[in-house]
Structure 1
Amino acid sequence: MKKLTKVCALFFALALSLSACSGGGNQAAAPAKDSPGTAKDGNELTIEQASMQLVKAVDEGKYKLVSTEDLKAWIDKKEDMIIVDTMPAKSYDKNRIPGAVNAELPVKLDETTPEQKDAFIKALGSDKNKKVVLYCGFVKCERSHVGALIAKEAGFTNIYRQPGGIIAWIDAGYETEGSK
């Protein structure tokens, strides 16, 4: 229960900056500026849906989460880790977290080809205890979740997912690599 509370708290902190990027769902009318809630557009249901999707994914995958801010601190400290961008090469080439490698994955595990799975596992390297950080586009994107499941299945033990993805990284004002 403590872990679930921690996951929810982390997600809601990220969700505040990502609510405009989550897309989908029914859109409510924008609230007055002094309205309570997390969603910038007034659609708290979208935030809740993304939160529940994330909580279920983390519970299913048995991996850890890392916030955008903590990942930036790890990079600044030059922690030994591999950062994997699971987005298509076109997105990776445009904007990526510094030092990230690209291993494109689909949004659903059952859509993963054997070639994608092999390339992904190869990108992780041979050290199964090395810290692996996975990210994709934004909270509702599940490419990084697919990567976490594949990494766990392959025997990697130190898996983190940065749920806000490249959008949260950019929203935080952090530098990116790529052609922009």
Structure 2
Amino acid sequence: MKTITARELRKMRDAEEEFLLVNTLDGEHFEKTKIPGAASIPQSASDFLNQVEQRAGGKNRTVVVYCANVRCDSSTKGAEKLERAGFTNVFDFADGYEGWQQINKEKEGGRKAKEDAPVKR
């Protein structure tokens, strides 16, 4: 299973890459863990696979799944379901909402990650 870090996810968004971001938690937890632009598709829903395929427009689009934090396994379960169903480009954002919050605090605070800095020549 492929995983993605908060910095990688932010870079994808900043580059305006095409992907579907899915919050796999139940609806009652979605508002507390919503990353802007994310779709609420609970991995526990009986039609999870169909909902993701419809929103993604097919099984070949990049799909990034996440949940609350690294201790939450909802996104991992969702990613496994998607891969078993034939989705070809699935990423598990295991740090989840907490990881997203942390990376954005760093960005807002003016600190840049080493990999975010321009390449020196």
Task: Tell whether the structures are fold-level matches, with TM greater than 0.5.
Answer: yes
SS of equivalent to 1:161 = strand
User: Does residue 1:121 correspond to 2:59, yes or no?
Assistant: no
User: Does residue 1:100 correspond to 2:38, yes or no?
Assistant: yes
Distance 1:100 1:124, change over 3 A: farther
Cα RMSD (Å): 1.8
Larger RCO: 1 or 2 (CA < 8 Å, sep 6+): 2
* Equivalent residue, structure 1, for 2:94: 163
Whole-Å Cα distance in 1 between the matches of residues 53 and 39 of structure 2?
A: 9
User: Letter of the aligned partner of 1:123 in structure 2?
Assistant: V
Q: TM-score, normalised by structure 1?
A: 0.53
* Equivalent residue, structure 2, for 1:173: 104
User: Does residue 1:67 correspond to 2:67, yes or no?
Assistant: no
Deviation, structure 1 residue 144:
0.4
Asked if the contact 2:41/2:51 (under 8 Å) is kept, the reply is no
* Equivalent residue, structure 2, for 1:138: 69
SS of equivalent to 1:141 = coil
Deviation, structure 1 residue 154:
1.5
User: Letter of the aligned partner of 2:52 in structure 1?
Assistant: A
* Equivalent residue, structure 1, for 2:18: 80
Higher radius of gyration, 1 or 2: 1
Deviation, structure 1 residue 120:
4.2
SS of equivalent to 2:47 = helix
Deviations 1:144-169 (A, max 9, x none): 01111110122101010111000111
The correspondence for 2:84, drawn from 153, 164, 168, is 153
Point out 4+ residue stretches in structure 1 off by more than 2 angstroms: 123-126
User: Letter of the aligned partner of 2:51 in structure 1?
Assistant: K
* Number of positions where the alignment pairs a residue of Structure 1 with one of Structure 2: 104
Deviation, structure 1 residue 121:
3.0
Runs of 5+ consecutive residues of structure 2 not aligned to the other structure: 108-121
**Identical pairs, percent:** 29
